């Protein structure tokens, strides 16, 4: 479909859903079920939102198949039942999303490009971009205003640097890598030792680099530090949220997701398909196995086995952690009982 869907029937076709109700109901956008207008489609993923459907202004909703929901007036309203609700929502939002703003084709007059740099065909280089010595950019890269590409950087095809993103010297980006605004790739790692005289700190140089494989996306205001030796590496398809710190020498596998405000200390190894919740802190030199999950706000001090789910502070197997939480919630009650027992014992004496 070359245009956004205009009716419930077209939206159902787009998201590969089963239409129940009015096929001609108008659809001009997407919104939450609380705020959607009559011509905006909503999204129902659980029974809480299903309960709001009957009184909602919207006339069209995408609903997960496992959520019971009655269409109501079939003459004016429509439900689109889908097997994979989140994937259907992604398709719908993409269809209605406005076209991305991009710099004009070519190199902006205010950009500074070293003569030795190579820029592939179809590139869009925005205002005040800096591309330094011997950098190599692949085809159709997009560099938004104020972004920086250091000396000898290699970028594959279709990479995007958003405003004020920084890729420092000698780092390597695969194809379709996206770096969001104000993120820095390739800063020196944090390494200091007390000097022999005990009066100052000695800075440890970091000679390595950063390698981001194909399809990696890094959120805004993140830092991925260069390694002391070799490379800090992020595997293909991995997505890292805003405000994350990836320290020197970390190795992150393929198709891993890391939520915002998470910090990895130096030389952490993360496997493929790992899910790390927001605000986690991960100690240095630890290993997280393939397919493992780490709950939000976890403080990791030990290796996580493959496929395990851990959480807590310090993090442990989630089943043990949930038992600990349940016990902690009973402490006030136990404290009152202990106080009464102590008082009764005192009276008896």
Residue 54 burial by Cβ neighbours in a 10 Å radius (0-12, 13-18, 19+) = exposed
pLDDT in tens, 84-125: 989 999 999 999 999 889 999 999 999 999 999 999 999 999
pLDDT in tens, 300-340: 999 999 999 999 999 999 999 999 999 999 999 999 998 88
pLDDT in tens, 55-79: 999 999 999 999 999 999 999 999 9
Q: Which of 144, 158, 162, 248 is catalytic?
A: 248
Structure tokens at 278: 């927001």
What pLDDT is recorded for position 348?
A: 64
Average pLDDT over residues 37-41: 97
Please state the domain extents for the chain: 8-96, 106-322
pLDDT for residue 1 is more than 70: no
**Do residues 252 and 230 touch, judged by C-beta distance below 8 A?**
no
Return d(Cα 69, Cα 65) in angstroms, integer. 9
- Indicate the pLDDT class of residue 181, thresholds 50, 70 and 90: very high
Return d(Cα 37, Cα 59) in angstroms, integer. 8
Active site residue 285: no
**Which of the following CATH numbers is that of domain 8-96: 3.40.190.10, 3.40.1390.10, 3.40.50.980, 3.40.350.10?**
3.40.1390.10
Tell me, yes or no, if the pTM score tops 0.85.
yes
Domain boundaries 106-322, CATH class: mainly beta
Structure tokens at 337: 């009982």
């Amino acid at each position: 479909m070359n245009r956004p869907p205009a009716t419930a029937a077209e939206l159902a076709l787009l998201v590969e859903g089963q239409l129940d109700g009015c096929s001609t109901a108008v659809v001009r956008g997407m919104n939450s079920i609380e705020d959607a207008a009559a011509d905006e489609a909503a999204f129902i993923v659980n029974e809480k939102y299903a309960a709001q459907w009957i009184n909602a202004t919207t006339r069209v909703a995408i609903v997960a198949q496992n959520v019971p929901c009655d269409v109501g007036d079939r003459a004016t309203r429509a439900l689109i039942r889908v097997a994979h609700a989140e994937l259907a929502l992604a398709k719908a939002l993409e269809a209605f999303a406005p076209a991305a703003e991009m710099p004009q084709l070519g190199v902006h007059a205010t950009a500074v490009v070293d003569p030795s740099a190579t820029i592939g065909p179809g590139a869009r280089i925005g205002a005040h971009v800096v591309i330094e010595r011997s950098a190599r950019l692949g085809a159709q890269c997009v560099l938004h205003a104020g972004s920086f590409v250091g000396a000898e950087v290699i970028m594959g095809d279709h990479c995007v640097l958003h405003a004020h993103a920084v890729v420092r010297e000698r780092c390597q980006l695969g194809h379709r890598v996206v770096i969001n605004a104000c993120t820095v790739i390739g800063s020196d790692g944090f390494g200091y030792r007390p000097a022999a005289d005990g009066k100052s700190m000695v800075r440890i140089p970091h000679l390595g680099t950063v390698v981001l494989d194909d399809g990696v996306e890094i959120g805004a205001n993140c830092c991925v530090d260069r390694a002391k030796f070799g490379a800090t590496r992020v595997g293909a398809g991995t997505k890292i949220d805003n405000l994350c710190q990836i320290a020197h020498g970390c190795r992150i596998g393929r198709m891993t997701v890391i939520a915002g405000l998470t910090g990895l200390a130096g030389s952490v190894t993360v496997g493929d398909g790992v899910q790390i919740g927001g605000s986690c802190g991960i100690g240095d030199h630890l290993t997280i196995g393939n397919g493992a999950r780490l709950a939000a706000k976890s403080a990791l001090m030990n290796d996580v086995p493959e496929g395990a789910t851990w959480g807590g502070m310090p993090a442990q197997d989630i089943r043990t952690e949930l038992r600990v939480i349940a016990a902690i919630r009973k402490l006030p009650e136990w404290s009152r009982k202990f106080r009464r027992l102590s008082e009764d014992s005192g009276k008896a004496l």
